[in-house]
Amino acid sequence: MALLSKVELTKSVNTADEGNLLSESEAKFERESLPLMEVKALCYMRTLSRRKSVSAKTVLFSLFLGIAFFSLSANADDASDVRAAIERWNNLESDLGAQAAMIRKDRVQIVGAVRKRNQDTNLASQQFNHDADLAAYGDATRRLILIEDPEIRIYGATAVASFTQIYFTANAGQPANPPMRAWSTLVLVKNEGQWKIAHHHWSRQ
């Protein structure tokens, strides 16, 4: 029986295209040392291995693209949710009780050079000042607070939001006061699908 050498067979299997692999090996069959059935079996296994390799690479590449797309989509959704949370927090400056529901019990607040950690006393002092302003100027006092140029970064279940707040105020019967601008930075933590404030730093510009 005519045989094909293993060296020649290996060279043929490694270099031939899938369509020509078997025909080239059969041509060499006439010269040397392996039985034809073994040549065909090895060629088939090599072809199958190539197909599996391509298939595995395709699956892994598709999986990588899917994970990357999901990650980008999740970050975009979180950034949108954080933006909505800081807008709501900003709009609740006149409803301190509702605003307090967006704040974690372990929040740290720094205003100017003052550091506050007790949420109960902090809320009480803010409510006192708010009520004093109403008593002095009446309900006709108007205030508008806008958020400008927010920058939001997401780190898993933690978000950092930095922005400028612009305060527009007008007392009853008086012209509008000059706008006041301040830097504000919030650190929010996501828990059970909700973003709550864990740190707040505020200072005038």
User: What's the confidence (pLDDT) of residue 64?
Assistant: 57
CB-based burial label for 29 (10 Å; 0-12, 13-18, 19+): buried
- Tell me: do 195 and 105 sit in the same domain: yes
User: What's the confidence (pLDDT) of residue 83?
Assistant: 96
> Please, are residues 142 and 170 in contact by the beta-carbon 8 Å criterion?
yes
pTM, full prediction? 0.62
Half-sphere exposure of 30 (CA within 13 A, CB side): 3
Cα–Cα distance measured from residue 118 to residue 105, given in angstroms and rounded to the nearest whole number: 8
- Tell me: do 52 and 124 sit in the same domain: no
What token pair was written down for 193?
Answer: 């699908």
User: What's the confidence (pLDDT) of residue 96?
Assistant: 92
Domain that holds residue 111: 92-204
- Tell me: do 98 and 173 sit in the same domain: yes
User: What's the confidence (pLDDT) of residue 137?
Assistant: 74
Residue 5's DSSP bridge partners are: none
pLDDT tens per residue across span 150-166: 999 999 999 999 999 99
- Tell me: do 56 and 97 sit in the same domain: no
- Tell me: do 97 and 184 sit in the same domain: yes
Nearest CA to 126 out of 161, 171, 92, 169 is that of 92
71 lies in a domain? no
- Tell me: do 200 and 145 sit in the same domain: yes
User: What's the confidence (pLDDT) of residue 133?
Assistant: 80
Cα–Cα distance measured from residue 3 to residue 123, given in angstroms and rounded to the nearest whole number: 92
User: What's the confidence (pLDDT) of residue 2?
Assistant: 45
- Tell me: do 57 and 139 sit in the same domain: no
- Tell me: do 42 and 96 sit in the same domain: no
- Tell me: do 43 and 96 sit in the same domain: no
Number of domains the chain contains: 2
- Tell me: do 198 and 99 sit in the same domain: yes
Quote the distance between the C-alpha of residue 186 and its chain's center. Answer: 17
195 lies in a domain? yes
Q: In the chain, which residues have pLDDT < 50?
A: 1-7, 9-16, 18-19, 21-22, 25, 28-32, 68-72
80 lies in a domain? no
72 lies in a domain? no
| Rg of the chain over all Cα atoms, to the nearest angstrom | 35
Q: Which of 19, 46, 65 is the last residue of a domain?
A: 65
74 lies in a domain? no
List the beta strands (DSSP E) in 17-157.
103-111, 114-116, 142-155
User: What's the confidence (pLDDT) of residue 173?
Assistant: 78
73 lies in a domain? no
Residue 137's DSSP bridge partners are: none
13 lies in a domain? yes
- Tell me: do 61 and 103 sit in the same domain: no
- Tell me: do 100 and 190 sit in the same domain: yes
